[in-house]
Amino acid sequence: MTKISIEEDLLNRLLTKCSAEIERHAGSADSANITFEKNRCVKTLFPKSSCTQCVQVCRDQALSIKDQTISIENSECSACGACIRACPTEAFSYGRYPLFGVLAALKHRLHGVSASSALAFTCPNAQSRKNGVSVGCFNGVSPALILLAHLLFNTKIELHSSDCERCPSHNGGCPTQVLADDCETLCEKLGVQFRPVCAEENDGDEISLGRRRIFSQLSDRLHGISEITSLSGGAPKTDKVFTMPEREMLIATIELLKARRPGFEISEKIFPLPGVISGKCSGCNICTLLCPTGCLSDKTEDGHFKLTADPMRCTNCGRCIEACPTQAMVMRSIPGTEAVISDSVRIVLTEISAQKDEEEQTTEARMKEIFDVPIYRS
C-alpha cells in the first residue's frame, strides 16, 4: 500500500471539508454562487452585535443591514469577494469556484513533473489564466492559501491579474498587492521568508469594452458567482459547529511547518482567544452555544462547570463577548507555543461550582430573553 505524503494528506483533508461545505451550501459541488449563510452571521444570530465588517468593505453598496440581518442587493454585486475576506465567521463563500478547484489543482501538481517551477495564480480576466490556477477575484483569496501553496512546492508564487482598475469587480486599490502584503505579514508572524510576485496584465481589447459587456464576460467566466444566494434558515441554530475553510488552511500551513521544523513555535501573539474575568462567569454556557467554530466547549461534572477553548479555532468573531449576560468575557491574543499548536489542545478558561437555576429557566429560555428570538435545535 502506497504511503500518502503529509502534503497530499493535508490537501485531501481540505478537499473533503471544502466539498462537504459546497454540497451543504448549494446541493452540488458544481455550484458557484456566492452564498450568505445566516446561521454563521454574527449580526443575524445576535442583533445587538456591533459587527458590520461585510457592509463596510462592500464598495458596491450591495450589502446593508435590514431587519436585524444582512440584506443583499444582487443587481449591485460585482462579485469582488471583499465580503468573503472580511467576515470573521466565513458567512460568505464562493462555493466551489474557486477554492475546490484550486486545491484539486495543487493536489494534481504534487504528482506533476513541473512541481518545482513557478506557480501562477490568476484572476479570471488575466490573459495567462490558461497556464495558471484560476482563483477568482484576488479580493476573496486567503493569504493562508498562497502561503500553503508556497510551502507545498517550495517555489516562486506569481499573482497574475488583469487591469484591475477597469474590472467591474474592482473595489479600490490593487487586490494582488494587498494579498501579497497580507501574505508577507502572515509569513513574518510564522517565521517564514516569502512574498508572492505580483504581475498585472494589460488586456488590450477587453479594456475598450463597455462596463456592462465586461461584466457580462466576467460573469460568464465566473460561472455566475455575482449572484448571491442567501441560504434560508429562519431563526439561528446554536448547536452547529461550522467548517471554516480559511481557518483550516491556516491550520494545515502550521501542521506542514511543524512536520518540517521539529520544535516549531510561533512567538508572535497571533491567536485570538477569549478570556474569562475571575468571579464573573455564571456558567450559563450561552457562549458555547453561540460559538460557530467549536472553539468553546463546556462540561459540568461533579458539581463543577468547566469552560475550555481551542486556540486554533478562535476567529475573533466576538459572539461570546457581546452575548455574555454577565460581561465576563474579554478577548486577548496568545503566541503559538508548542503546546498551543499541538493537536487537540484545549485551554481551561474557568472552572466554577455549578449553580442551580433558581427560576428553573432552560438555556433556550435564557437565550430567548437575551436575544428576543426563539432558538431551534436541529
What distance in Å separates the CA atoms of residue 251 and residue 154, rounded to the nearest whole number? 18
Domain identity same for 80 and 210: yes
Rounded (5°) CA angle 51-233-65: 30
- Asked if the structure places residue 293 within a domain, the reply is yes
334-354 burial: b if 16+ Cβ within 10 Å, else e: bebeeebbeeeeebebbebee
Residue 291 sits in a domain whose CATH number is: 3.30.70.20
Number of domains composing the chain: 2
Burial of 2 (C-beta count, 10 Å sphere; 0-12/13-18/19+): exposed
Which of 231, 251, 283 delimits the end of a domain? 231
Q: Are residues 59 and 200 in the same domain?
A: yes
Using alpha carbons only, give the angle 62, 67, 69 rounded to the nearest 5 degrees. 60
Domain boundary at 212, 231, 250, which?
231
pTM of the model: 0.75
User: What's the sign of the alpha-carbon dihedral 115, 120, 124, 125?
Assistant: negative
pLDDT in tens, the chain (378 residues): 456 789 999 999 988 887 777 666 554 444 445 678 887 888 887 787 888 999 998 888 889 988 888 888 877 777 777 888 889 888 887 654 468 888 888 998 887 755 557 899 988 777 665 678 888 778 888 899 999 999 999 889 999 887 777 666 666 678 889 899 999 999 999 999 999 999 866 544 333 334 334 333 433 433 333 455 544 333 333 344 566 777 888 889 999 999 999 889 998 888 888 999 988 898 888 888 888 778 898 988 878 889 999 888 888 888 899 888 889 999 999 898 888 887 778 888 988 886 655 434 555 555 565 555 444 443
47 shares its domain with 121: yes
In a domain? residue 242: no
Condensed to tens digits (0 to 9), the pLDDT of residues 16-30 reads 887 777 666 554 444
Examine the domain organization and report whether 31 and 173 are in the same domain.
yes
If you search the block for the grid coordinates 458557484, which residue do you land on?
32
Residues 204 and 272 in one domain: no
- Within a domain: residue 61? yes
3-class SS at 138?
A: helix
377 domain residue, yes or no? no
Asked if the structure places residue 277 within a domain, the reply is yes
The verdict on 89 and 193 lying in the same domain is yes
176 inside domain: yes
Residues 226 and 282 in one domain: no
- Do 315 and 244 meet the contact criterion of CB atoms below 8 Å apart? yes
Same-domain check for residues 273 and 205: no
Assess if residue 284 is contained within a domain: yes
Domain boundary among 180, 204, 231: 231
Residues spanned by the domain of 78: 6-231
50 and 177 co-located in one domain:
yes
> Is 54 inside any structural domain?
yes
Q: Please check whether residues 219 and 367 belong to one and the same domain.
A: no
Do 272 and 210 reside in the same domain of the chain?
A: no
Reference 278, options 328, 330, 331, 334; nearest CA is 328
